[in-house]
């Protein structure tokens, strides 16, 4: 059995969790999130300086609460984990410094976790978690990627967005429609009563220099522009926008593109298991269409539990436990934070000397 306290402050959610592993299964003893969404909504997006300040205010109480709720003291922990990359530098610092200080004070190891490795590990918190090899569709506010995870745990990126991430497209289109921030949940709600076939929108294929298309890559900037043109045209013709139909048509085309390219990638690579994680994986239409179409093609699908799709600390704890299970892991206490760091170099976070 291993026990970790995990902290996450890479963007606009302050989060803490205590996660344990028993006989190869992860169990969340307590997980708390303090969202700053309402504060950032006033500005239409995340304001980094406000985010850092709110993390400093919120994190100590969250740590106390999750330790209380799980009945665990810091001295009993096998490690303290915190997200150290990628994300907003000032925001990352809060969990990183808090985690390192707790670890140093109590003589526990510190594990600096890669945020995307956390999203990938969120699927281990599902009732039935898959065994590699499988293909992961990671869809968040900052990333849209298809990643093959091998039996050894090695990861290889097979597809990516060439411009906006899917979540970013949701956020930008929501702003265009005047639906507020964050865009994903706002669009999902308005789209419920809409007609997803009313507007025909582009699927954003990415050309290859030698001709043809990248079969597993994405582009959402053309879709965003098409939404803008449609809205401008409608505004010129009528006073009130058909918001529900616009939101539903947008959500439908994003779901179509993600489902079709992910399944094609899985089948082409002989992978019969697909995993979906990240904030956009919370989307109801995407969840149901991915499940239905994967089933129809005999591909098994596991989607991260709804509570662990958007940013949370339990997934950071799950990633730390997976590292602990594989090797003796202890990041340097000197490890800083990095706003950018590729997922395929996540292992370097555990090297001596540290990479940053
Ligand atoms: O994973 P996440 O919490 O943070 C990042 O690491 O980026 O993802 C946040 C993104 C935002 O862009 C948000 O609009 C989107 O996930 N999102 C959704 C939904 N809930 C959150 N997108 C579509 N449908 C949702 N229900
Ligand atoms: Zn995230």
Checking if the pLDDT of 161 tops 80, the result is: yes
Are 276 and 153 contained in the same domain? yes
Helices (H) and strands (E) in the chain, counts: 10, 10
Instruction: From 48, 86, 167, 177, give the residue whose CB has the most ligand 1 atoms within 8 Å, as the site to mutate.
Output: 167
Are 345 and 281 contained in the same domain? no
Instruction: From 184, 253, 259, 277, give the residue whose CB has the most ligand 1 atoms within 8 Å, as the site to mutate.
Output: 184
Contact 356, 336 (CB under 8 A): yes
Confidence of residue 328 (pLDDT cuts 50, 70, 90): low
Q: What is the pLDDT of residues 183-225, one digit of tens each?
A: 999 999 999 999 999 999 999 999 999 999 999 999 999 999 9
Q: Which residue has the tokens 């090797």?
A: 327
Are 137 and 207 contained in the same domain? yes
Determine the distance separating the centroid of ligand 2 and the alpha carbon of 199, expressed in angstroms.
30
- E strand residue ranges, the chain: 2-8, 13-22, 25-35, 79-85, 110-114, 134-139, 144-149, 155-160, 273-277, 300-303
Are 108 and 134 contained in the same domain? no
Are 144 and 274 contained in the same domain? yes
Share of the chain above pLDDT 70, in %: 99
Are 321 and 275 contained in the same domain? no
Ligand nearest to the CA of 185: 1
Determine the distance separating the centroid of ligand 2 and the alpha carbon of 200, expressed in angstroms.
30
Instruction: Tell which atom from ligand 1 comes closest to the C-alpha of 142.
Output: 7
Are 177 and 244 contained in the same domain? yes
Are 113 and 191 contained in the same domain? no
Q: Tell me what the pLDDT averaged over the chain comes to.
A: 95
Tell me whether residue 319 is in a domain. Answer: yes
DSSP of 228-265: HHHHHHHHHH-SS--HHHHHHHHHHHHHHHHHHHHHHH
Tell me whether residue 54 is in a domain. Answer: yes
Question: In angstroms, what CA-CA distances link 110 with 31, 220, 348?
Answer: 19, 38, 15
- Give the pLDDT of residue 354: 86
Q: What is the pLDDT of residues 15-33, one digit of tens each?
A: 999 999 988 789 999 999 9
Token duo for residue 242: 């058909």
Tell me whether residue 225 is in a domain. Answer: yes
Average pLDDT over residues 115-142: 95
d(CA 356, CA 345): 12
- Give the pLDDT of residue 238: 82
Checking if the pLDDT of 8 tops 70, the result is: yes
pTM strictly above 0.85: yes
Residues 6+ positions from 288 with CB-CB distance below 8 Å: none
CATH number at residue 86: 3.30.420.40
Provide the residue range defining the domain that includes 341: 2-121+310-350
Are 174 and 95 contained in the same domain? no
d(CA 120, CA 140): 11
Count Cα neighbours of 30 within 13 Å in the Cβ-side half-sphere.
Answer: 16
Q: What is the pLDDT of residues 242-276, one digit of tens each?
A: 999 999 999 999 999 999 999 999 999 999 999 99
> Could you tell me whether strands 2-8 and 13-22 are parallel, antiparallel, or unpaired per DSSP bridges?
antiparallel
Determine the distance separating the centroid of ligand 1 and the alpha carbon of 310, expressed in angstroms.
6
Determine the distance separating the centroid of ligand 1 and the alpha carbon of 282, expressed in angstroms.
7
Q: How many domains does the chain have?
A: 2
């Amino acid at each position: 059995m291993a026990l970790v306290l995990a902290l996450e402050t890479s963007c606009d959610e302050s989060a803490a969790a205590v996660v344990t592993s028993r006989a190869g299964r992860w169990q969340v003893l307590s997980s708390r999130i303090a969202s700053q969404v309402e504060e950032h909504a006033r500005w239409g997006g995340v304001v980094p300086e406000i985010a850092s300040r709110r993390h400093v205010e919120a994190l100590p109480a969250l740590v106390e609460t999750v330790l209380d709720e799980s009945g665990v003291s810091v001295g009993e922990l096998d490690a303290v984990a915190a997200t150290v990359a990628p994300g907003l530098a000032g925001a990352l610092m809060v969990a990183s410094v808090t985690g390192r200080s707790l670890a140093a004070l109590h003589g526990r190891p510190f594990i600096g976790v890669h945020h995307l490795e956390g999203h990938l590990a969120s699927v281990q918190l599902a009732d039935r978690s898959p065994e590699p090899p499988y293909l992961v569709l990671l869809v968040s506010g900052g990333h849209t990627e298809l990643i093959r995870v091998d039996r050894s745990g090695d990861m290889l990126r097979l597809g990516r967005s060439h411009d906006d991430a899917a979540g970013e497209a949701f956020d930008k289109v929501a702003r265009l429609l005047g639906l507020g921030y964050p865009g994903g949940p706002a669009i999902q709600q308005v789209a419920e009563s809409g007609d997803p076939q009313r507007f025909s929108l582009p699927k954003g294929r990415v050309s290859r220099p030698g001709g043809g298309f990248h079969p597993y890559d994405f582009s959402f900037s053309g879709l965003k522009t098409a939404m803008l043109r449609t809205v401008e045209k409608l505004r010129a013709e009528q006073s009130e926008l058909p918001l529900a139909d616009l939101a539903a048509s947008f959500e439908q085309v994003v779901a179509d593109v993600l489902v079709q390219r992910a399944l094609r990638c899985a089948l082409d690579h002989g992978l019969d298991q697909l995993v979906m994680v990240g904030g956009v994986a919370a989307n109801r239409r995407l969840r149901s269409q991915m499940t239905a179409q994967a089933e129809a093609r005999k591909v098994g699908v596991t989607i991260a539990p709804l509570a662990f799709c958007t940013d949370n600390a339990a997934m950071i704890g799950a990633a730390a436990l997976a590292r602990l299970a594989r090797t003796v892991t202890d990041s340097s206490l000197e490890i800083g934070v990095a706003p950018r760091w590729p997922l395929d170099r996540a292992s370097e976070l555990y090297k001596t000397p540290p990479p940053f």
